[in-house]
Amino acid sequence: MNEARFMPLQEHVDDLTIHLLVDEKFMKKEKGSTMATVFFIHGAGSNHHNWFYQYQELALNPHLTTITVDLPGHGLSTWFREKPSPPDVNHYALVMLKLIEKLSLRNVWLVGHSMGGAIVQAMALKVSSESPSFVEIFKGIIIIGSGSHLPVSSSLLRLLETNPRVAMEKLIKWSIYKGIEDENPQRYRDLKNMAKKIFSRAAPSVTLFDFQACARFDVRERISRVEQPIGIIVGQNDVMTPPTLSEELGRSVSNSLGLEKIPHSGHLVMLERPRIVNLLLKKWILEP
């Protein structure tokens, strides 16, 4: 079986060191290449391992190259020297735009999960309003388990602040569709262990910041301004970002690729049902 090769990189953006994983084709890509770059952005309290099944498979496609990043303070990336205030996904969006500019990327597809979905929306809006020349760099956007606003309960925010260990246990439980345990108990245990490893790498203060930023996020009145095509994926049993949020987003975008609700899956749909998610990604990105 073929396996893609990847290389870890570190790029400096302002006072931050950003860790990213790129595939071998990216390192060999010639200047001016028209090959599409799939740029993955993870969600709150997470890191690039969220996308393990996606970057492994998509990197095998000869027409695609993949980049997956650790946001500031997540995974191996450093945190802001001075904590941004107030918490806002736009702080992350600006760093990601600067990173894309530094890497001289073209033909970029942004793919974001949960808070990452909010970040890619913020990036697209910032570009359309402030950097029109940047618009042509982005070919499309795929938003997974997210919405044009991301309500967070005040009780969860308090728990993240006062008892982050218990909060994390609840987040892991809510992130995976419980029905998978009946379907395949070992698979369910594996997914929980994978989620624990992913979520354990961010400091509690960073995870709290992320959820506070999600609570503030709301682009319902502006998302229709994004001109790029937008595809939406959500787990039908997602209790963290319910399908109603994706449906609302889908009604608001001006250039829709479609909304796909994946049965028997929850918030971590790209880990729970990778084959279906990967087929959709390739369909939207590769089909003219």
Reported as a single tens digit per residue, the pLDDT across 155-205 is 999 999 999 999 999 999 999 999 999 999 999 999 999 999 898 889 999
Q: How confident is the model over 52-62, as pLDDT tens digits? A: 999 999 999 99
Proportion of the chain above pLDDT 90, given as a percent: 85
Q: Give the per-residue pLDDT at 22.
A: 95
Mean pLDDT of 126-139: 76
Domain definitions of the chain by residue range: 6-286
pLDDT value for 136: 76
- Give the 3-state DSSP-derived string for 48-109, with helices as H, strands as E and coil as C: HHHHHHHHHHHCCCCCEEEEEECCCCCCCCCCCCCCCCCCCHHHHHHHHHHHHHHCCCCCEE
Q: Mean of the pLDDT values across residues 14-39?
A: 88
Note the pLDDT tens digit of each residue in 232-272. 999 999 999 999 999 999 999 999 999 999 999 999 999 99
Residue that is written with structure tokens 């500019």 in the block: 101
Bridge partner list, 12: 17
Position 32 pLDDT exceeds 80: no
Does domain 6-286 correspond to CATH entry 3.30.750.24? no
**Where do the DSSP E strands lie in the chain?**
6-13, 16-23, 36-41, 64-69, 108-113, 138-144, 230-235, 256-262
